[in-house]
Chain A
Amino acid sequence: MEGTIPLTYYITVSAILFTMGALGVLIRRNALIVFMSIELMLNAANLAFVAFSNSYGVLDGQIFVFFVMTVAAAEVAVGLALIVAIFRSKHSIDVDQMSSLKG
């Protein structure tokens, strides 16, 4: 059953998902959606990890994915707290509005 799908297909899907995440970070101005795009990129990287892990027959890739997920969970907790704090002070989560440091 496994092995009928070449590794390159998985890597292609992973690359496309990563690019779409990067595109989302670049074109969206809602800070929450920028954040979701970052999650999309992490997920694409995880997919590549698991695909390579399966291809080489070693489990270390899956362990890395486990750690990436933990870091992503921590990142989301802190990031959303930051967004809430910014919304309290500026009443907006538009990333273009966050230009207080601009000269």
Chain B
Amino acid sequence: MDSMLIFFIILALASILSALGLLVSRSAVYAALFLVLNFACVAIFYLLLGAPFIAFTQITVYAGAIMVLFLFVIMLLGAEKLPKGTSLPWQRPLAIGLATILLFEAGFLLFQRLKLTTAIDQPVAQVNSVDAIRTLGLSLFNQYLLPFEVTSILLLVAMIGAIVLTKQEKGAAG
């Protein structure tokens, strides 16, 4: 068992446990912090996979911008804790059963397909270098130029949407 594999297993455990923490924590602030930890673990996975650009985008966009927005909204609403209301009694076991089925289905299908591919591409082309980032940028601005421009419209629409949705009515309180 080489050191890379041990490192990978520790990282996988950290990411899965932080996801579990998100599921079980009662406080929304703790859930958000667990999610930040999970995003950081996934970013390190990206580094292991030779995708430094994606890893740093993950840190800045997800762990930085998106989670700060989440924390802002949690504190703005003051909704850290939900009162323990009456939940449907059959909801939780049913959900866990369905999730188990999903996991087995996904695992079965993926491994059935992967049996073919993992054997073929043993000589993996090295995609992890500064060259790869340049290639990424070039194909982003050549081959994928139209989707790239469309995302700018998407972001503009999202920005306007967020402003319109949270705008107070004229004459309303506030």
What is the interface size of chain A, counting residues whose CB is below 8 A from a CB of the partner? 73
Q: Does any Cβ of B come within 8 Å of A83's Cβ?
A: yes
Contact with A along B96-111 (1 / 0, CB 8 A): 1011101100110011
Q: Does any Cβ of A come within 8 Å of B48's Cβ?
A: yes
Residues of B within 8 A of A47 (CB): 42, 45-46
Q: For chain B, give the interface size range.
A: 35 or more
Report the nearest B residue to A4, measured CB to CB: B4
Identify the B interface with A (CB < 8 A): 2, 4-5, 8, 12, 15-16, 19-20, 22-23, 28, 31-32, 35, 38-39, 42, 45-46, 48-51, 53-54, 57-58, 61-62, 65-66, 69-70, 73-74, 76-77, 79, 82, 85, 87, 91-92, 95-96, 98-100, 102-103, 106-107, 110-111, 114, 117-118, 121-122, 124-128, 132, 135-136, 139-140, 144, 147, 151, 154-155, 157-159, 161-163, 165-166
